[in-house]
A = this chain, B = another copy of it.
């Protein structure tokens, strides 16, 4: 067995309260006794038991992170942002994959709360009343990262997806494209089905271009689905001369499908993507993309959570990070 605070106290000839004080850096300890205790600690190889500490103090310095899929490039960059800031503030993270499945999500929240995490960063698709209920019932703060709560009740960190898509589509139209295709992500998640789609429609409208049902489709973020959607576009009567794709992986699929059909990007068809992961550099032509600050979304979300856990004042519960559009070789 490893040494306990009691062993250290005995070894150093002081009470456990004093040991606790030096372990926790409490200044009310005479330097000489501090030294005595420190030596006893070293001699015994004492390491504080965080579980006991958590039970007594009701703080675990651990936060829960619920993420759809850590093996996705996009989410793993987000996760890295979260973890870096967590580390900076001395928190550890319990990482859970939800696969965007609501039952799993609810179950994970329960498990994490049972483990007494001090807060939770949640990434998911659709937030519905059942989620909100869980968030509110719990007595620890939640922050949504890259996930929107349409009611703006829950703290969240995002970019303005609608605006970003509006800009991209407008640019494409203004540079002469009358038929702009849109390969969206699953539309049951509001970011896609609502905000991004709205941005797309708004851009068309403001340029007096009629909305064409067949130019909008849905993929599942895989390379293959991007390829298939593009294949469908190319076989239609109304073919797009530019395609906006909701993920880098799908966008690479789109480019390859276009090239496989003997067409050129961007000469024949322009392609714009939406995540700006490292992948954009790894395809020829390199991908123009909405530059979503993925890492930063995670980092800012975690930072916001630390404030909430600390009962610090926060200016705004809903933070919207700026985005850019990084132009590369897949557009003219």
A interface with B by C-beta (< 8 Å): 2, 45, 47-52, 54-55, 60, 62, 65, 69-73, 76-77, 79-80, 83-84, 87, 92-97, 110-116, 137, 139, 223, 249, 252-253, 256, 259, 278-279, 281-284, 295
Contacts and interface: CB of A to CB of B under 8 A. Distances in A.
B92 A115 contact: yes
Nearest to A65: B95
Query: Which applies to chain A's interface (DSSP): helix, strand, loop or mixed?
Result: helix
B282 A114 contact: no
A223 B282 contact: yes
Nearest to A279: B282
B60 A84 contact: no
Given A54-B51, A110-B47, A223-B281, A97 B70 contact: no
Given A70-B76, A279-B282, A51 B60 contact: yes
Contacts of A249: 278, 282
Given A71-B80, A73-B76, 17 more contacts: A2-B139, A49-B55, A49-B114, A51-B60, A52-B55, A62-B115, A70-B79, A71-B73, A71-B295, A92-B94, A92-B96, A92-B111, A95-B95, A223-B282, A249-B278, A252-B282, A282-B283
